[in-house]
Amino acid sequence: MKFILIGDCLSKLTSTALVIALLLVSAGIAGAEVIYVEPGTSIQAAINNSTTGDFVIVKAGDYKENIVINVSGVTVTSEPENPDDVFIRARDENSSVFQVKADNVTISGFNITGSGEVFISKSNGFECPQAGICLDQVENCTIEKNCIFENQYGVYLQGSRNSTISNNTYFRNGIWIDEGCSKNMAINNSIKEGNFILGAHCWDNVISKNRLSNGGGIGIACCGGENLVSNNEVINCSTGIDMYDVQARTVLHDNLITDCDYGIYLILVYDSMVYNNTISNSSRGIFLRENSQNNELFNNTITSCNESGIYLLDYSDGNRIYNNYFNNTVNVKAENSEGNIWNTTKTSGTNIVNGPYLGGNFWADLNGTGFSQTAEDSNSDGICDLPYNVNGGDFDYLPLVKLTSLHGVNLKNNNSESC
């Protein structure tokens, strides 16, 4: 096992090196090298000197480079004692700061900035656009614990698979997973004044536990499917989650969306599932348009949306919409979109207002005079006695009510009206 210092000075074997040595021994790669980079020397030179399994450790300082990683299995990381003090800035603003062209690469613990203008269209062809980190047709890479700011793109993937992007912070850029990417995971990232784009023809990707604020939200482009978008928090963005021309199942669940123009926006979407999402203080909670059909929307809570809780437009029909909690001034707005199903079969099970049966939806309004807040439930089964006319030709035949105990205590939200 060797420890190499890129630069003119000698370096003693620090506690950091000892820790890394122990890790390498325990992992069975004792032949790997640990290569240190100091300010004034080149990260690229260290990578060029590395082989599979090596660690390139960058000491605190300011580096101005565009770095190409074409060695598989190398880890490029900041020195553990000073991860906040390693800045890497693009020397050529028209190129990515890091271009990864080999598999099994890890990049961790850097401040990365300076590649291109913010929010310009991506370049043509298959070259990396201006990004903080670009993964170019690679597999099994890890991008973690970086602060990536004011690049055209934060992290950009093209033609890449099975990679993990986690615990990074982005400012005025974000994550773009482009065409042909599959089985990647983006988890626990924080994006401010940017967005997350899942591009065309992307399959089986996971977008989970990310937080986006004051930007564009999460966008999913056409022609892919089987993607999972879950447990994300989107605040004050133009759209919480929008999905366009997706005709193979994508699942959106347990996302928290607030103060956006649109909560969830589906355009020409088929056979997807939208459930357990909480949407509030938006213009429209869920918007389906242009033949969005055969989707299943259930267990969502949509409140205080000032135009409509759910809006169906342009032959968006055949959708199954049940066990949702609507509490908005206008809960449903529909144009040329009759033929949706607003309840499931009455089935034993706890519904969204803690009643004993699944059925339709809970229909409230902000004044406490909504259908479910005032309707009769003569047999106390948590289902209103009469159906609810949703939009002229469509009915919720099993609208929900809230049950109260014998002492008049509401079984669900104490601050809401009950029947």
Q: Is pLDDT at 419 greater than 50 in this prediction?
A: no
Which among 214, 288, 196 has a CA at the least distance from the CA of 258? 214
Mean pLDDT score of the chain, rounded to an integer?
88
pLDDT of residue 114: 85
Mean pLDDT of 350-355: 97
pLDDT of residue 415: 39
Mean pLDDT of 190-217: 96
Mean pLDDT of 14-36: 59
Residue-wise DSSP of 95-106:
S-SEEE-SSS-E
Mean pLDDT of 145-164: 96
Q: Is pLDDT at 98 greater than 50 in this prediction?
A: yes
pLDDT of residue 80: 85
pLDDT of residue 40: 94
Mean pLDDT of 274-291: 96
Measured between alpha carbons, how far is 302 from 297 in angstroms, rounded to an integer?
12
CA distance to 86, 128, 129, 172, per residue, from 125 (Å): 32, 9, 9, 24
pLDDT level of residue 2 (50, 70, 90 thresholds): low
Measured between alpha carbons, how far is 27 from 105 in angstroms, rounded to an integer?
16
Return the C-alpha torsion angle 163, 168, 171, 175, nearest 10.
10
Q: Is pLDDT at 15 greater than 80 in this prediction?
A: no
pLDDT of residue 121: 43
pLDDT of residue 81: 76
**Residue with more model confidence, 283 or 6:** 283
pLDDT level of residue 123 (50, 70, 90 thresholds): very low
CA distance to 1, 2, 34, 58, 123, per residue, from 10 (Å): 17, 14, 14, 15, 43
Residues in the chain: 419
Q: What percent of the chain has pLDDT over 70?
A: 87
pLDDT of residue 3: 54
* Structural contact between residues 251 and 280, judged by C-beta atoms closer than 8 angstroms: no
In single-letter form, the type of residue at position 216 comes to G
pLDDT in tens, 164-203: 999 999 999 999 999 889 999 999 999 999 999 999 999 9
Question: Backbone dihedral region of 408: left (phi > 0), alpha (psi from -120 to 50 degrees) or beta?
Answer: left
Mean pLDDT of 355-360: 97
Measured between alpha carbons, how far is 124 from 114 in angstroms, rounded to an integer?
20
How would you class 165 by CB atoms within 10 Å of its CB: exposed for 0-12, middle for 13-18, buried for 19 or more? buried
Which among 59, 24, 19, 20 has a CA at the least distance from the CA of 43? 59
Pairing of strands 362-364, 2-6: unpaired
Any bridge partners for residue 192, and if so which? 171, 213
Mean pLDDT of 213-242: 95
Return the C-alpha torsion angle 296, 305, 210, 185, nearest 10.
20
Q: Is pLDDT at 317 greater than 80 in this prediction?
A: yes
pLDDT of residue 27: 47
Residues in Cβ contact with 310 at an 8 Å cutoff, skipping those fewer than 6 apart:
284, 285, 286, 287, 288, 297, 302, 321, 324, 326, 331, 332, 333
